[in-house]
Structure 1
Amino acid sequence: MPKHILQVNQPMFETQLDRMVSEKVTEILNRMLDAEADEITGAARYERSCGRKAYRAGHYERDLTVKAGKLSVRVPKLKGALFESAVIERYRRREESVEEALIDMYLAGVSTRRVDDISQALWGARMPSQTLSDKLRKVYGDIDAWRERPLSQPYPYVFMDGVWHKRSWGGAVENVSILVAIGIGSDGHREVIGVAEGMKEDSASWNSFVSSLISRGLTGVRLVTGDRCAGLVNTVRELLPQAGSQGCMVRFMRTVRSKVSPRHNRWAGDALKAVFAMESRESALAKAEQV
């Protein structure tokens, strides 16, 4: 295990989720752009057809600057026809709806309703071709495969916590509880290894969540970090008896600051942040002596 300090927290989970959603948006747009090109040319790529109106002439990369950041999509080039995409402009107008649907898929699994939401937002009222449906099915299938993937390596350290996600559904915004597990491998690599939507932070929910991780192959856990709620602590003792447990940094800081007088509260917070900002155990201990 690396000697430098690794930070694991909710922003790290949100960053990884944003990255995965951005990658999926790019995949979906690329497949829909190809389908638009098929409609214009009157035939699929490499298909021999007497009804062909134009031919493919490769692709070019186009960068899209959207609210979520920058995306790079592959726009088809045609010979014998002008390619004008409606999908890209629809995405610009419905970006938040599309990304919200994908986030829900990662958190709760792929649903027909959310698939239809994305198709309606980007493809309009017309029915997608069977070829496009097959391509999109693979994209969405990859999401479920990620959620259910085997955990083939040991994770000595695991961060578990309950977080709140704001979800838009039918024009209404609601807070949804999400249980999250982030594993740190022996090489220091961090990744989200499990998410479960709509669960409470009680013993039954944590037991069900951790049991699902174990059934997928979670092994080698030495320490679980997270909220020191009774539900999580009891679950770790029962299902991961070889692992210790400790509270997370944020809650530790809150506890310390609650014990400090208001006059010294800000100083205590800054001092703790300075210690936690150190990149190794040795430098953190040295900083703690200074403050």
Structure 2
Amino acid sequence: MSVPAIAGRLGEALMSDSPLPPDAPTAATPPHTPLRAAFAVDDRQVQAHLDHVVRQTVEQTLNALLDAEADALCGGKRYERSPDRVDTRAGTYDRTLHTTAGEVTLKVPRLRSLPFETQIIERYRRRQSSVEEALVEMYLAGVSTRRVEDITEALWGTRVSASTVSELNQKVYERIDAWRGRPIAGEYPYLFVDGIWLKRTWGGEVRNVAVLVAVGVSAAGHRDILAVQEGSKEDGESWLTFFRHVKERGLRGVRMVTSDKCLGIVEAAAAVFPDATWQRCVVHFERNILSTVPREKMAEVATMVKAIYASEDRPAAEAKAEQVAAKLDAMRLSSAAKVLRAGVGETLCYFAFPQGHWRRIRTNNLLERLMKEIRRRTRVVGAFPDGHSAVMLAAARLRHVAGTDWGERAYLDMKLLSEQDGKTKTAGEGNGPLVAPASNGSVGAVV
């Protein structure tokens, strides 16, 4: 049977109440190729039509609400005579509004004497608040300004300029400042600190600006970003101001400060947290040693150094370190042996804490991952106009990370520390003072 004949019989069946003939195609019968082409559907046209219908419905609903609000202000409907009427209409004016359904045109009523202050749409607002929040969240989550423009055009049919995104971000900066200056409650036995260098323009020149970050592990075992501050340099004065800032906000109970051997950080930490122990990051220390080793011997030396931190306690680690240093001397790597002997004592403070915590408190890897997030987000910016903008964007990214399950997951089992404290109290022992590097090149001097 030909296609026109089939189409004719289907039309007759649809016009009548009689069932389809036995040889007519049904839903269970795969249609022939010509028939499929005859009933082809353009998905793009259907989607465009649906978008238009949704947008038109939103537009009609909002205009109806505006009319109802104008009637309530006037005390009567349009052209209605009423003793309660207090004003009359004076036409309308068009306004565009960007909603999640797309751009709609509103007919905003004018009144002859009373100002029309609508409660539905704020004066001078052009976008729905949910759209603005989406723009800001995209920007803070790591989407570049140019990419935000492309996304808004694809989603809502209108392109939001870079200046508009910047204006929206200024509103968020107030919340970020409040988050950065929030009071710190509870104790944080472990404190991790580090800094990152970003670029800023100054008098037509590109200069560096330091962003200092502190992350603490609370008594409940959760990670928390405690501070994000600008430092003119990563020097002692900047770190001293930074540590005083977090202490003034309520930081207490610090038992260990983990960082790399940055200039001035040990002295600043000792001045503000005199009862805490300083732990030099093991990973950074290993890199310092390997920087003095020829490339062909790096793998062998790295294995030797890692064996030190696989020891069961501090005396065993110290003995192993001396064995490794002697072997380095025998390999004619005296520079590596000298670096190892001078600094290994600064990396073994973690042995005074529970063994279940060793792997995570002896390095600054916790902060290194966050610094990579900051670097990834700020790379698309290049040079910032000032240091405040650099700190704001870094803090915004860290605030976004802190709002995920990153801060909700338990990082350490702090029951181990409580149990150790109970045993130490029974034995009459206490924590040691902060260990700082000695000027004479020895393992360390007591501050």
Normalising by structure 2, we get a TM-score of: 0.35
Q: Choose from 106, 116, 121 the match for 1:41.
A: 106
| Structure 2 residue matching 1:41: 3-state secondary structure | strand
Which residue, out of 255, 278, 283, partners 1:222? 255
Alignment of 1:222-241 (within 5 A): 222-229=255-262, 231-241=264-274
Q: Which residue of 1 aligns with 2:187?
A: 154
2:250 and 2:212 mapped to 1: Cα distance? 18
C-alpha contact (below 8 Å) 2:103/2:157 kept by paired residues: no
* Mapped partners of 1:121, 1:275: distance in 2: 55
Aligned alpha-carbon RMSD (Å): 4.9
Quote how far apart the aligned CAs of 1:121 are: 4.3
Question: Separation in 2 of the partners of 1:240 and 1:283?
Answer: 21
Q: Determine the structure 2 residue equivalent to 1:197.
A: 230
Q: What CA distance in whole angstroms lies between the structure 2 residues aligned with 1:270 and 1:40? A: 69
**Count of residue pairs the alignment pairs up:** 196
Q: How far apart, CA to CA, are the structure 2 residues paired with 1:36 and 1:171?
A: 44
Identify the residue that residue 173 of structure 2 maps to in structure 1.
Answer: 140
**Bigger Cα Rg:** 2
1:150: Cα distance to partner?
A: 0.7
Change (3 A) 1:33 1:197: farther
Match of 2:282 among 243, 249, 272: 249
Distance 1:149 1:34, change over 3 A: farther
Q: Is the 8 A contact 1:157 1:221 kept in 2?
A: yes
Specify the SS of the correspondent of 2:253: coil
Whether the 8 Å CA contact 2:191–2:258 is kept in 1: the answer is: yes
Alignment of 1:85 with 2:150, yes or no, is: no
Higher strand share goes to which structure? 1
Q: 1:121 to 1:172 in 2, by over 3 A?
A: farther
Cα distance in 2 for partners of 1:271, 1:216 equals 43
* 1: CA distance, partners of 2:251 / 2:121: 50
The answer on whether the counterparts of 2:231 and 2:238 sit within 8 Å (CA) in structure 1 is no
Mean Cα displacement is larger for which, 238-247 or 39-48?
A: 39-48
- Structure 2: gaps (5+ residues): 1-96, 109-116, 310-353, 360-447
Contact 1:228/1:246 (8 A) holds in 2: no
Provide the residue aligned with 1:20 in structure 2. Answer: none
Counterpart in the other structure of 2:196: 163
1:253-274 Cα deviation digits (max 9, x unpaired): 1133246564331244467689
The structure-2 alpha-carbon separation of the partners of 1:258 and 1:281, relative to structure 1 and needing over 3 Å to count, comes to: farther
* Partner SS, residue 151 of structure 1: coil
Name structure 1 gaps, 5 residues minimum: 1-31, 76-82, 95-119, 124-132, 286-291
Secondary structure at 2:264 match in 1: helix
Does the aligned pair in 1 maintain the 2:216–2:223 contact within 8 Å?
Answer: yes
Deviation for aligned residue 1:225:
0.7
**Contact 1:226/1:246 (<8 A) preserved:** yes
Give, in whole Å, the separation in 2 of the partners of 1:149 and 1:283: 28
Is residue 143 of structure 2 the alignment partner of residue 68 of structure 1? Answer: yes
SS in 2 for 1:85: coil
Partner of 1:80: none
What is the alpha-carbon distance in structure 2 between the residues aligned to residue 179 and residue 36 of structure 1? 42
Q: Residue 219 of structure 1: SS of its match in structure 2? A: coil
Query: Which residue identity lines up with residue 41 of structure 1 in the other structure?
Result: L
Percent of pairs with identical residues: 34
